[in-house]
Structure 1
Amino acid sequence: MIKSPRLKLMGILGANVLGLRHLSIRVDPVMGCNLACRMCYFSNAERRKAMKGVMTSAEMSEMSRCLFPRALQVVVGCAAEPTLHPDYVALIRLAKRYCVPHISLVTNGQIITYEHLEQMVQAGLDELIVSMHGVTKPVYEYFMQKSSYEAFVQRLDWLEALKTKHHLKQPSLRINYTVNPDNLGDLEGFFDHFGKYDIHTLQLRPMFENDGIYHRQMDAGDEERYRALVERFKVIARERGMQLLANMSDVHYEQQSKDARVAEAVYCYVSPSTAGHWGGSWKGLSFGRYSNVSGRRKELWGAIISGRGGRVGNIGKSQIL
C-alpha cells in the first residue's frame, strides 16, 4: 500500500529503534550440508571446505533472546542444511517461546528422523519448506548428489501421517524447485508424482549462478517452455487451492528493484560466524547494541538518505500467481 521505498525504510527504522517486530530472520545453526547439489556451492570442493562452524546451544539461546522478539518470521535453514545440527529443533521451540508469528524450516529432508519431525509438529512449526530439483528418481538424484529419492518421499509420507495423528493442519508443506534447462522437462510431471500430497505452496525459481558445478542457464526456448508450464500450473493451483510462487518477470535476475533496500532492511541472516563479524558474542547483547555493532542502523540511515534501489536475489523475485 505504501509506494515510497524511502517511507517504508523510515518505518522500518522506527520499528528498529522502538524494538518492534520487523525482521525476517534466517538462521543457519551449522555451516554444512549432507548433499552436494550441482547448482549449489556445496558441490564446489573449495567452497565446501570453507563452510565451517556450529552454533552452540548457549549461542542459539542468547541469539534468540536478542533477536526473536523483533521477528515477524524465523526461517531455520538458509545457506546450509540445518538438520545436521544435533539440536536444531530447539530453534523452533525458542521461536515459539518468543511468540514469533511465523516459523519455517528449510531442508532437503534427507536426514530428518521421524522423532524430530514429530517434535517439530508438536512444537508448532508453521511451515516445512523442502527443496527438490527433480520430480523423477534419475533427475532428482542426479542434481541432488548423495541423495535418496525414496528417503525424500518417505519424509513427505511421515509428515502427512503425523499431521493426521495429531489432528493438525500445520506445518504446511512448501516445495521449492530450482528450474534449469535439464530439469524443466521433469517438472512437467510434478502433479502426476506428487499431486497426492497436501502441498500448500509450490515455488518455482529459475537457477541463478551460485558457484556450483552446474552452470547452464535457460535460453529463449527454455524460457518459453517455462512460462507455458507456469501458466498451466496456475490453473492446477487454483483448482487445488494451492499457492503458486514463480519468478516470471526476471528469470536471469538482471533487473534492479526499487524495493531491494526494503528487502535488505528486514532481512537478517545469522550463522555460527555472525557474532565474530563484529568481534563480540551474543551473551547479554541487547537488540539496540546489536543494531549498532552489526551496522544495521547505519545501513538503514544510508538507504533512507540515498533513496536508491538495488538488486534482489531469488527470494525477492517470485510473484504469487
Structure 2
Amino acid sequence: MRAIGQDAFGGPEVLRVVEVERPEPGPAEVLVRVHAAGVNPTDVWHRASGGLAGKAIRLGWDLSGVVEAVGIGVTLFAPGDEVFGMPRQPLPAGTYAEYATSPARHLVRKPAGLSHVEAAALPLAALTAWQALVDTADVRAGQRVLIHAAAGGVGHLAVQIAKARGAYVIATASTGKVGFVRELGADEVIDYTQTDFAEAVRDVDVVIDTIGGEYGPRSLRTLRPGGIVVSLASPAEAQLAEVARAQGLRAGFMIVEADQAGMREVAALAEAGLLRARVDTVLPLELAAKAHEISESGRATGKIVLSVVD
C-alpha cells in the first residue's frame, strides 16, 4: 500500500510516498481503508522533531474510512461499516496511508450526513476541544468561555462545542477571520491585532489557550476566582499551574487521548448539525508535504485534509 514516510526530521520536504506492507488487524482491532486523513499541528511537530515519540514515525491520527477487516474479538463493527476517529493517540497511528489499523473502540460510526473529508477533519481537533471544555473544565450553561485562535482547527470547533453546552463565548481572532468566528456563533469576537484581550475581558470561567507562551499568564488576568486556563500548546505550559494556584485560580496542560465516549459525543453533535469542521484545503495523499507547508504558514482557516480515495 501507499503511505507517507520520512527518513529524517526536518521541513515538509522530508515527507515522501513509500510502499509498505498492508497491516493486519490484531485482536480487538479493525483494518480501515482510509478515505481521508486530517492534518494537525501535532503532525508537523512530530515530522520536524520527533515529538513525543522522539523518533521518525508514520504520521497521521485522524481518519475516516471503511472497515476492511476485523480482528478476533471485535463485535462493534463489520467489514463495510463507515467509521471515523483518532486511533492510538498519543502513540503512533500512521493514518497518512491507504490502510490503517485501529483498536475498535477508538472509532465510531461516521455520521451519514458527513463526507469522509468532513469527518476526517473532526476527530483530533474536536476531541481536543471536547476534552478541554467538558472533561477538564466542566463547562456548563451560562458560564463565560474565552477561546484563543478561534478560527484555527481546535478553536473553531471549541466555539461550537461551548455554544452547544450553553456557554457565553468570547473569542480572539485576526482581523480577516473575525466574521468567520462570528458566524460560528461566538457572542463576542476580539480582533487581537487591534485590542489586548487581557485588558478587554474579565470574569471568565474558562480559557482555552491553543497558542501558549505569554498567552497563558495574560489569560489568568481574565479569570474570575476559581476559573481555569486549559493550555493545549506545549508541555512547557504546565508550569503555569503554580502561578495560577498562587492567585486562587487553576491551570493545566492537556494532551488529547483516544476516546470512544468523546467521539460518540462529537458524532452526536455533528448528527444534530451543531458541529461542523471548516475544511480549508483538501489535497491528495501524495501532496502531504504541501499540506504541511500550508499548516505551518498559519493562513488556514479551519482544517486541512488529505484525500486518499477520490
State whether TM-score is above 0.5.
no
More strand per residue: 1 or 2? 2
- Report the TM-score, using the length of structure 2 for normalisation: 0.26
Normalized per residue, the structure richer in helix is 1
Q: Which has the higher contact order (CA 8 A, sep 6+)?
A: 1
